[in-house]
Chains A and B, each alone.
Chain A
Amino acid sequence: MKPEIITGAEIVIRSLQKESVKFVFGYPGGAVLNIYDAIFKQTQFKHVLVRHEQAAVHAADAFSRATGKVGVALVTSGPGATNAVTGIATAFMDSIPMVVISGQVPTHAIGQDAFQECDTVGITRPCVKHNFLVKDVNNIASTIKKAFYLAATGRPGPVLVDIPKDITAEEAEFIYPKTISMRSYNPVIKGHTGQINKAIDLLVNAKKPMVYSGGGVVLGDASESLTNFVNELEFPVTSTLMGLGGFPASDSKFQGMLGMHGTYQANMAMQECDVLLAVGARFDDRVIGNPDNFLAKPKKIIHIDIDPASISKRVKIDVPIVGDVKNVLDEFILTYKDIKKTHDKSITSDWLKQIKEWADKDCMAFKDDGSQIKPQRVIQMLHKVTNGDAFVTSDVGQHQMWAAQYYAFDKPRRWINSGGLGTMGVGLPYAMGCQLAFPDSQVACVTGEASIQMCIQELSTCKQFNLPVKIINLNNRYMGMVRQWQEFFYGNRYAESYMDALPDFVKLAESYGHVGMKIEKSSDIEPALKEAFGPKLKERLVFMDFITDQSENVFPMIASGKGLSEMILAEDL
């Protein structure tokens, strides 16, 4: 066979096709013009032109969160790359598999302070799983292969490939490696059998067991395995913000989310349990608060995680199990089946009664006399109108917490938000990524009037690509989460947290060619949502501006640095 000699740019495209990429989210510029020319000549994947590189990376990130596949973004050198950094850091903090290709100035110009030059590999180094600068056209294909492999395996994460312009113009033979192996990178998949036996032994003898499920369960597609295992043992379960949907919220064993805005019963049970099974979670500060306080109550902790560095990082672990969470949980089920007969489930009955008592406090109740729109009610209605089956993206703030608390997620990969970095502005680009991945599904973007303005330009992208996203703007005329902290911890001094000079969101949406709605009465919530999600507006983006109660706060709340049992409840105020 004659060797196939093509340009570096064509090698990039062919490599992406080999990886079965369906969408590339990007924005052109000088350093990537060769690549864009090659995109022009191909039809296998679709290029989605965003209006800001940050949104390209967020959309690729959401595509990955919703589908489990590797998202792909393409940006130019210099400002294109720096604009992408927020998106890359956001994906990195939540371990999202993604490949970002950036253009670079020609190799001979590197280091000359050339036009649109920046040290992209240097700038992104601390917020990628790995990155590469390709200096030889013969290495493009193998580097892209490595990038996809690294992004998707082990603890996933974004990988950046920086390609100088001259390298995309040079020619080479196209050989895409079938497999890759790296002597320096061998993630552990299978858990240690001895450790698994130890864990099962602890679990069946636990009087006060608790399961703490994290984002790793969603990312590792371990939801079904976790559910099966928990159903066998009949243990109570809580989930982190990132893990929502990993275990069905409608199951009576589910105690709600834990952490800073977790439920009373979940946080109390975390604190008081005697054996804790942590699955794909990392004991971060927003989840367990102060580690000393958390450990004040002695407990045995079993931790399953793909990343050895996540184990015993903030809290000392008694039974560490490094491995793929799904693989390990399936092993758990098999091991448990052998000793099932000897498991006396009644030893947990006092504990379950105790949890029930905590739950009876009904910490999620909120006052609603119908005089104003309560944000919590909007989310409950959203759940009702979408049958709990929508993809829900959110921005960052109070609205994010209400979406997490009141949209009971029964399936994984439906709740798409920035938990680790907490990036305002992700909501709309996240909705774009989901809608492109699932064109026939309902996609709701729950946002706030401050957050939505951080990537509002993407309304234009939604128009171009006919993305019928429904935007649920919980408009409280405040940076609500900031205001809440100022109310609680800064003597009501609302420094710069007021959103003044807001646009008319209805007109704004209309000017982009979308449908706008302003909802001011509580009784209008449901009919408006029904209309927006109804058949008439099925094909349209609808921007729903809900004018909500300005003074509403998120409860329960644990002040930062405090312990899990030190919650502030709505009724305490």
Chain B
Amino acid sequence: MRHIISLLMENEAGALSRVSGLFSARGYNIESLTVAPTEDSTLSRMTIVTSGSDEVIEQIIKQLNKLIDVVRVLDLNDGKYIERELMLVKVKASGQYRDEMKRISDIFRGRIIDVSDNTFTIELTGATSKLDAYIDSLDNDSIIETVRTGASGIGRGDRILKI
């Protein structure tokens, strides 16, 4: 099953490679991994999207906790959470495509952030599944380039990951 794991770690050189190294060394899946410093600059927050059986996820959580730089780990799937990812898509927008692209973008609440004679660049945020759905709705030939940040996640309401 797909899991979103959030963690706080010391903002030290090499901390990211300890996490990514753990996943490759133990053969765990990584769908995406995002990281940036938090409002407390000594801490970084990471969101890892992974998948595996319950046993594998349990091991991943334990192994992450075992890393010396990791301060706290939370499996967002243990409760209610919100997930968001940002995607930028450059699509063909000439002739017959131009109106069609605008229409689909509106349906998905995308924003056109750059326009040229032949292209639109569209910004889209949402859960990973929504971004997938947007891509699926486009004609493959019309996509020129895509870039995605990977998911970030946060618990709902009282579910807080903080030290």
Q: Hey, which bits of chain A sit against chain B, CB under 8 A?
A: 121-122, 125-126, 129-130, 133, 150, 182-185, 307-309, 312-313, 316
Contact = CB atoms under 8 A, between A and B. Distances in A.
A185 B12 CA distance: 15
State the main secondary structure of chain B at its contact with A. Answer: helix
B65 A308 contact: yes
B68 A184 contact: yes
Contacts of A121: 14
Contacts of A150: 68
B162 interface: no
Given A130-B68, A308-B65, A125 B14 contact: yes
Interface size class of B (residues with CB under 8 A): 20 to 34
State the main secondary structure of chain A at its contact with B. Answer: mixed
20 contacts: A121-B14, A125-B17, A125-B18, A126-B25, A129-B68, A130-B68, A133-B14, A150-B68, A183-B71, A184-B9, A184-B68, A184-B69, A184-B71, A185-B68, A308-B62, A308-B65, A309-B62, A309-B65, A309-B66, A312-B55
B52 interface: no
A307 B66 contact: yes
Nearest to A129: B68
Contacts of A184: 9-10, 68-71
A309 B21 CA distance: 17
Given A183-B163, A309-B59, A133 B66 contact: no
B13 A133 contact: yes
Interface string B54-94: 01001100110110111100000000000000000000000
Nearest to A122: B17
B52 to A, nearest CB: 14
Given A183-B71, A184-B68, A309 B18 contact: no
Interface of B: 9-10, 13-14, 17-18, 21, 25, 55, 58-59, 62-63, 65-66, 68-71, 163
Contacts, number: 37
A121 B14 CA distance: 9
Nearest to B71: A184
B21 A126 contact: yes
Q: Which 9 A-B pairs have the closest CB atoms?
A: A309-B62, A130-B68, A184-B71, A308-B62, A309-B66, A126-B25, A309-B63, A185-B68, A125-B21
B17 A313 contact: no
B7 to A, nearest CB: 10
Contacts of B55: 312, 316
Contact of A313 (B9, B59, B163): B59
Nearest to A125: B21
Nearest to A130: B68
Given A122-B14, A126-B25, 14 more contacts: A121-B14, A133-B13, A150-B68, A182-B68, A183-B163, A184-B68, A184-B69, A184-B71, A307-B66, A308-B65, A309-B59, A309-B66, A312-B55, A313-B59
Contacts of A125: 14, 17-18, 21
Contacts of A309: 59, 62-63, 65-66
Nearest to A311: B62
Nearest to B65: A308
A121 B71 CA distance: 21
A307 B63 CA distance: 10
A130 B18 CA distance: 9
Contacts of A185: 68
Nearest to A183: B71
A316 B56 CA distance: 12
Nearest to A310: B62
Contacts of B163: 183
Contacts of A312: 55, 58
Contacts of A126: 21, 25
